[in-house]
Amino acid sequence: LATVFWIVVGALASLPTWAQDLRPAFLLTGAHARDSQDLSGQWTYSKDLYRTGLTDINGWVAKSRMQRYRDIDVAAVEAKGGADFFEFDLDRGPLMAIPGAWNAATPELRYYDGLVWFQRKFAASPQPGKRAFLRFEAVNYRAYVYLNGKEIGRHEGGFTPFVLEVTQALRAGENRLVVGVDSTHDAQSIPTTITDWDLYGGITRPVRLITTPATFIDDATLALRPNGRISGEVRLQGPDAANQQVSLAIGTVASVRAVTDASGRVVFDLPAPKALARWTPEQPTLYDVRFSVAGDVLRERIGFRTIEVKGSQILLNGKPLYLRGMSLHEEEFGPNPARNITEQASRALLHEIKHGLKGNYVRLSHYPHSETTVRLADEMGLLVWSEIPVYWTVDWDNPAVLRKALAMQAETIYRDRNRASVILWSVGNETPVSPSRTRFHGAMADNVRQLDPTRLVSAALLVERQGDVLAIQDPLIDKLDVLAVNTYAGWYGADTLDAIANLTWKVPSDRPLILSEFGADALAGYRNDGNRKFTEEYQAEYYRKTLAMADRIPTLRGMSPWILKDFRSPRREHPVFQNGWNRKGLLSETGVRKQAFGVLRDYYHTK
Give the interface with ligand GCB as residue ranges (CB under 6 A).
196, 366, 429-430, 486, 517, 562, 582, 584
What's the CA gap between 362 and 384, in Å, rounded? Answer: 5
What's the CA gap between 415 and 147, in Å, rounded? Answer: 25
**Smaller CB separation from ligand GCB, 305 or 366:** 366
Indicate if the alpha-carbon torsion angle 200, 379, 448, 318 is positive or negative: negative
Query: Measured from the CB of residue 549, what is the shortest distance to ligand GCB in angstroms?
Result: 17
Are the CB atoms for 453 and 411 separated by under 8 Å?
Answer: no
Burial of 76 (0-12, 13-18, 19+ CB in 10 A): exposed
Are the CB atoms for 103 and 32 separated by under 8 Å?
Answer: no
Query: Measured from the CB of residue 441, what is the shortest distance to ligand GCB in angstroms?
Result: 15
Query: Measured from the CB of residue 492, what is the shortest distance to ligand GCB in angstroms?
Result: 7
**Smaller CB separation from ligand GCB, 195 or 292:** 195
**Smaller CB separation from ligand GCB, 387 or 446:** 387
Query: Measured from the CB of residue 605, what is the shortest distance to ligand GCB in angstroms?
Result: 26
SS3 assignment for 173-239: EEEEEEEEEECCCCCCCCCCCCCCCCCCCEECCCEEEEEEECCEEEEEEEEECCCCEEEEEEEEECC
Are the CB atoms for 495 and 487 separated by under 8 Å?
Answer: no
**Could you give the C-alpha distances from 74 to 77, 88, 112, in angstroms and in order?**
5, 8, 26
Are the CB atoms for 368 and 424 separated by under 8 Å?
Answer: no
**Smaller CB separation from ligand GCB, 440 or 518:** 518
SS3 41: strand
**Smaller CB separation from ligand GCB, 27 or 564:** 564
Are the CB atoms for 387 and 426 separated by under 8 Å?
Answer: yes
Query: Measured from the CB of residue 142, what is the shortest distance to ligand GCB in angstroms?
Result: 23
What's the CA gap between 544 and 599, in Å, rounded? Answer: 7
**Smaller CB separation from ligand GCB, 189 or 582:** 582
Q: Taking CA 68 as the corner, what is the angle to CA 400 and CA 127, rounded to the nearest 5 degrees?
A: 85
Query: Measured from the CB of residue 366, what is the shortest distance to ligand GCB in angstroms?
Result: 6
Query: Measured from the CB of residue 328, what is the shortest distance to ligand GCB in angstroms?
Result: 12
**Smaller CB separation from ligand GCB, 122 or 488:** 488
Query: Measured from the CB of residue 487, what is the shortest distance to ligand GCB in angstroms?
Result: 9
How many beta carbons lie within 10 A of that of residue 383, not counting itself? 28
Query: Measured from the CB of residue 594, what is the shortest distance to ligand GCB in angstroms?
Result: 15
SS3 463: coil
Are the CB atoms for 402 and 440 separated by under 8 Å?
Answer: yes
What's the CA gap between 376 and 347, in Å, rounded? Answer: 7
**Smaller CB separation from ligand GCB, 383 or 460:** 460
What's the CA gap between 132 and 326, in Å, rounded? Answer: 40
Which residue is closest to ligand GCB by CB? 196
Query: Measured from the CB of residue 195, what is the shortest distance to ligand GCB in angstroms?
Result: 7
Query: Measured from the CB of residue 497, what is the shortest distance to ligand GCB in angstroms?
Result: 17
**Smaller CB separation from ligand GCB, 291 or 518:** 518
Query: Measured from the CB of residue 584, what is the shortest distance to ligand GCB in angstroms?
Result: 5
**Smaller CB separation from ligand GCB, 78 or 573:** 573
What's the CA gap between 374 and 385, in Å, rounded? Answer: 10
Query: Measured from the CB of residue 431, what is the shortest distance to ligand GCB in angstroms?
Result: 10
**Smaller CB separation from ligand GCB, 321 or 540:** 540
Enumerate the β-bridge partners of residue 156: 142
**Smaller CB separation from ligand GCB, 250 or 550:** 550
**Could you give the C-alpha distances from 255 to 302, 341, 540, 578, in angstroms and in order?**
15, 35, 53, 56
Burial of 89 (0-12, 13-18, 19+ CB in 10 A): middle
**Smaller CB separation from ligand GCB, 455 or 584:** 584
Q: Nearest 5°: phi and psi at 25?
A: -60, -40
**Smaller CB separation from ligand GCB, 196 or 602:** 196
For the chain, how many helices (H) and strands (E)?
A: 9, 35
Query: Measured from the CB of residue 381, what is the shortest distance to ligand GCB in angstroms?
Result: 26
H or E stretch covering 266: strand 265-271
What's the CA gap between 8 and 319, in Å, rounded? Answer: 45
**Smaller CB separation from ligand GCB, 248 or 563:** 563
Query: Measured from the CB of residue 599, what is the shortest distance to ligand GCB in angstroms?
Result: 18
Burial of 271 (0-12, 13-18, 19+ CB in 10 A): exposed
SS3 438: helix
Enumerate the β-bridge partners of residue 151: 146
